[in-house]
Amino acid sequence: QVQLVQSGAEVKNPGASVKVSCRASGYTLSYYAMHWVRQAPGQSLEWMGWINSLNGNKEYSQRFQGRVTITRDISASTDYVELSSLTSEDTALYYCVRGIGSDSWLWDYWGQGTLVTVSS
């Protein structure tokens, strides 16, 4: 069965970076797109970016002003999202979400979420 298992909770100081992993099982990672979404406490959802498995391109939300980087390790069946220059406003639950196809913006499976807390 398809599973997306994310790395554990992180506590970071302001100005630091965080890297969250998302290990895929039950399917071939390179055949499906992966999106990253975050949700601040009590807030709505915010799309961060995605990797298009059809052509390998990555696209990021400009709201993050270049602070987001998505990477993929096919050999480890794992995708990563890294967010730099953290502030308290980056405190949120971070999710990986699988596209239903290699270049799809429709989603099916979600990771369990990784809580990132930014605090001094």
Partner 1 sequence: DIVMTQSPDSLAVSLGERATISCRSSQSLLKSSNNKNYLAWFQQRPGQPPKMFISWASTRESGVPDRFSGSGSGTDFTLTISGLQPEDVAVYYCQQYWSAPITFGQGTRLEIK
C-alpha–C-alpha distance, residues 36 and 38, integer Å:
7
Q: Which of 1, 13, 55, 62 binds partner 1 (CB under 8 A)?
A: 62
Chain residues 16-55 in contact with partner 1, contact rule CB under 8 A: 35, 44-47
Q: How many residues bind partner 1 (CB under 8 A)?
A: 19
Taking CB under 8 A as the rule, does residue 112 contact partner 1? yes
Task: Tell which phi-psi region holds residue 77, choosing left (phi > 0), alpha (psi between -120 and 50) or beta.
Answer: left
Q: Which stretch binds partner 1 (CB under 8 A): 12-20, 22-30, 69-77, 103-111?
A: 103-111
Q: What's CA 93's distance to the chain center, in Å?
A: 10
CB of 23 to partner 1, least distance (A): 16
Taking CB under 8 A as the rule, does residue 106 contact partner 1? yes
CA angle 67, 120, 70 (to 5 degrees): 20
The answer to whether residues 58 and 118 touch, using CB atoms and an 8 Å cutoff, is no
Taking CB under 8 A as the rule, does residue 61 contact partner 1? yes
Given the complex with partner 1, which of 19 and 63 has the nearer CB atom?
63
Given the complex with partner 1, which of 67 and 113 has the nearer CB atom?
113
The answer to whether residues 34 and 27 touch, using CB atoms and an 8 Å cutoff, is no
